Chains A and B, each alone.
Chain A
Amino acid sequence: MKLALAGISHHRAPVELRERVAIDLASAGTLARELAERDGEGCEAVVLSTCNRTELYLARPDDEALPERADCALLALAGDEGAALAPVTYRLADESAALHLFRVAAGLDSMVPGEGEILGQVRDAFEAGAPGPLLDRTFRMALHAGRRARVETAIGESPSSVPAAAAALAEQVFDGLAGRRVVLVGAGRTSELTARNLRSRGAVVSAIVNRSVERAERLAESLGATVLSLDEIAAAVAEADVVVASTSAPGFVLRSDELVATLRARRGRPLLFVDLAVPRDVDPALASIDGCFVYDVDDLEAVVAASLEGRRSEAVHAERIVAAEAERFAAWQASLAVVPAIASLRARAEEIRAAELERLEPRLERLSEGERAAVETVTAQIVNKLLHLPTVRLKEAAITPDGLIYADAVRHLFGLEEEGEGA
């Protein structure tokens, strides 16, 4: 059974090339089924298409031209522009293809190592595709490798953007963000992104304080918040858990001397200030008040940089996990080569057992039903015990270079080939 992969990804192809072969999940499923049907019985196909890559995985018994077929199918997606893609596509086969898929599932092939979406995208592609025995096993092992990489390392834990870092910091202060009140000071794009990130984790945007009421109202409508004027800022802060500031004001909008009384009245109840503005909106002196934490844009970017560095160092551990899983896959695939020999051996043994029992049938007639059943069981057990060790040894040998020699030796010793030929 051969496995082949043809693909195009962000490593070698810019978005203007990738977009020519990008397809949605439903189309990927349809294409996979078409490919599997077109190439006849025993052909399997899965198509993985994300914003960073489009990859076709094909499997078929003993088809040496499979990588070329996969490549042609990929280029065909781009229609007349396929030729432009040819220099940036890649083709892999068997263990290399499996290892690549394992790395993709673990997020090791992503732009941001360990990004969280790819594992779900691989699962969706697998479920939408047309896998058979080989691709089913390969994708299941890839999903397992991806899960292991995330569970056993911290590759996917740290935030990779400023809004995500702000939300993650809020989660270090509060025990979950469900129901936490967020106040936006300024209605810029960055604060909106941060607010949406906080909302996705359960927080509630309670108020938006902005000079331009019109823009604030538009944003408030989409976030379900109320609009307040700058005069009401202290009242808004008094009730808030997280304050996200990003105005274009030339000086501090949230000043320590104006807010100190409000903040002291909170009696240490935590409050996180996320200052995304340059020049800064939040007076850093607020951090000296009990329960107040102030992060400006430099702090957040430093946190993101440290997180990415951490992801890269965790990627080393994740690579080891993926390599171990790829080895398991290789062993499994190698064992497939000896499966026919094992099946023939067992069939031959069962045939002999059945023939001997039939030969002794006149003598066995005198036995009761129970005694006959016992004879059946005992003979079957003898055959199984005799064949157990050779079966195990054959499977073990399969992953070594001598694996096929062992299989041939078994066929020769037990005359399996001659019988098969005779039949």
Chain B
Amino acid sequence: MAELLVWPALIAYGEAAFAYAGELRGHGRYGRLGIWGVRIGWLAQTGLLVAQALSMDGFPWGTWAGALNFLAWLVVSGYLIWGCRPRYRLMGLAVMPVAVGLLALAWVGGGTGVDHADEGGWVLAGHAVLILAAFACFTVAAGAALLYLYEERRLKRRDTGVLRLRLPSLEALDRLAGRVMPVGLALLSVGIVAGLTQLESGDYDATMAVTVVVWVVNTVALVLRREAGLRGRRYAWAVLLGFALVAVVLPVTHFAS
């Protein structure tokens, strides 16, 4: 029965994604509907994850589909930290469709059931959680970066409606992306190290290679930000590049396994 919780979560996230699209047309009301959709969906998905954790002996999200389920939850959790503030709500326009997509894929792949568990042990479980948490951070940072580019474009083009639909300021979005990325990178680094401790010789695959590339790209972006003042539009593109690679890692995880 617990696996049925995926439906309220999916419906509420979907409602939120549509509501945020509506927020583009009118202030406030759609945004409030959106944030309630996110909250209700998050509660339902949390219930699902708790049920999965309680009913299984091993790590419940070790499969690619299970990982997507957990990643969707982490992404929405990260968004909820900022998304409740009215001016950050529109980040949901970038984040919630991603969450819906991840959860839908997880359901298609059987990652929302309560009868499969990975027997890989706790170190590998920790590795998976850390990597997924890092990917969630990169997703939230990408949401902020997308919003930055959208807002910058409106300001550059002198869009007359720029003050009717108020987004966070460019600086605030840049700072958000800049703060979330180091957290994601730290989680990714620890996650990679945890994975390496369990690695047996000849066990390398494409997923690992792309994960390392993600780490390198994000590290370079952060170093450039700190040392060379990489900010604004260029930093936003760097964050999106890192996220695009993340979006590659997950399918690779599936097809390579």
Contacts and interface: CB of A to CB of B under 8 A. Distances in A.
Contacts of A418: none
Contacts of A314: 27
Contacts of B229: 267-268
A173 interface: yes
B82 to A, nearest CB: 14
B171 A174 contact: yes
Interface hub of A172, A269, A287, A314 (most chain B Cβ within 10 A):
A172
A293 interface: yes
B28 A158 contact: no
A172 B156 contact: no
Interface string B224-236: 0000110111100
A152 B155 contact: no
A403 interface: no
Contact of B151 (A172, A299, A302): A172
A306 B155 contact: no
B124 interface: no
Nearest to A305: B160
A29 to B, nearest CB: 36
A172 B164 contact: no
B166 interface: yes
Contacts of A269: 231-232
A168 interface: yes
A159 interface: yes
B156 to A, nearest CB: 6
A157 B164 CA distance: 8
A307 interface: yes
B196 interface: no
Contacts of A154: 27-28, 164
Interface residues of B, number: 25
Given A157-B27, A293-B156, A310 B169 contact: no
B202 interface: no
A175, A306, A307: most-surrounded residue (chain B CB, <10 A): A175
Contacts of B172: 175
Interface string B153-190: 00110101111101111111001000000000000000
Contact of B169 (A152, A157, A174, A305): A174
User: Interface on chain B toward A: helix, strand, loop, or mixed SS?
Assistant: helix
A332 interface: no
B151 to A, nearest CB: 7
Contact of A175 (B155, B158, B166, B175): B175
Interface string A154-176: 10011100000100110111111
A169 B156 contact: no
A160 B79 CA distance: 33
Contacts of A307: 163-164
Given A268-B234, A270-B232, A310-B164, A299 B171 contact: no
A290 interface: yes
A41 to B, nearest CB: 46
Contact of B28 (A152, A171, A291): A152
A158 B166 CA distance: 9
Interface string A385-411: 000000000000000000000000000
A268 B231 contact: yes
A245 to B, nearest CB: 16
A270 B171 contact: yes
Interface in A170-207: 171-176
Contact of B161 (A165, A171, A287, A306): A306
A256 interface: no
Contacts of A306: 160-161, 163-164
A354 B27 CA distance: 59
A344 interface: no
Contact of A173 (B28, B155, B166, B228): B155
A89 interface: no
Q: Which 6 pairs show the lowest CB-CB distances between chains A and B?
A: A175-B171, A154-B27, A306-B160, A268-B232, A175-B172, A310-B164
28 contacts: A154-B27, A154-B164, A158-B163, A165-B163, A169-B162, A171-B169, A172-B162, A172-B166, A172-B169, A173-B169, A174-B169, A176-B169, A267-B228, A267-B231, A269-B231, A270-B171, A287-B156, A293-B156, A295-B158, A299-B160, A302-B158, A303-B160, A303-B163, A305-B160, A306-B163, A306-B164, A307-B163, A310-B161
Interface of A: 152-154, 157-159, 165, 168-169, 171-176, 267-270, 287, 290-291, 293-295, 299, 302-303, 305-307, 310, 314
Given A158-B164, A173-B155, 5 more contacts: A153-B28, A154-B164, A159-B163, A293-B155, A303-B158
